[in-house]
Amino acid sequence: MPSSRNQAFLSDVKMLREKARKSLSDGAVTPAYRGDVGRTIDILQSVLATEIVCVLRYTQHAIVATGIASEAVKQEFAAHAKEEQAHMTAVAERINQLGGKPDFNPEILTSRSASQYAEADSLIEMIRENLIAERIAVEHYRELIRYFGDDDPTTRVMLEDILGVEEEHANDMLDLLQARGGQDA
């Protein structure tokens, strides 16, 4: 015999099926969704802008980095650009799942992004700017993960996955900066 705890957890299947047939135009957003869909989409538009700006910055740095020791750093920048693009796609797909339209408008990207698009003249400056951007992303994603909590576990889990990669990126940039003697105290 199931415990009362298990019974309280399980939905009545007939009712669940009836609810699923209603509001089909809401797609993945069902009555059990506890977040504010509009607010979530707005937040994710900012996350999308941040990821796009990161793709652009890393790509630009991968192309223009010069110097005797630049080849390995250029490869690292290019790899990070590819990973940021995967984040961008995941966020855009989540916006779409929630019924929004991902905003790729270049005119508003930098105003919406948490990180900045910063060009740099030297390899050390490029690494430093990318480290700063990654630290911003890490802090921003931690805040958003707490915000979404149990109200939107799908968005939270997506952001947790992205956070892990952003922390790795920050660590990579710190290693590169220290290896080139550019680490500030």
Secondary structure of the chain: what % helix, strand, coil (to 5)? 70, 0, 30
| Contact criterion met (CB below 8 Å) for 133 and 57 | yes
* CB-based burial label for 111 (10 Å; 0-12, 13-18, 19+): exposed
Tell me the pLDDT band of 185, cut-offs 50, 70 and 90. Answer: very low
Is residue 173 one of the residues assigned to a domain?
yes
Give the pTM: 0.84
Nearest-angstrom CA–CA distance, 10 and 152: 19
Residue-wise pLDDT for 36-49, tens only, equals 999 999 999 999 99
Asked whether residue 184 is assigned to any structural domain, the reply reads no
pLDDT at 29 over 60: yes
- The CATH number given to whatever domain includes residue 76 is 1.20.1260.10
Render pLDDT for 78-126 as a digit per residue (tens, 0 to 9).
Answer: 999 999 999 999 999 999 999 999 999 999 999 999 988 888 889 999 9
Domain assignment of residue 6, yes or no: no
Structurally, the chain folds into a number of domains equal to: 1
Q: Is residue 17 part of a domain?
A: no
Chain-wide mean pLDDT for the chain?
Answer: 88
Domain that holds residue 97: 35-179
**8 domain residue, yes or no:** no
Residue 27 falls inside a structural domain: no
Task: Return d(Cα 36, Cα 30) in angstroms, integer.
Answer: 12
Q: How many CA atoms lie within 13 A of 135 on its CB side?
A: 8
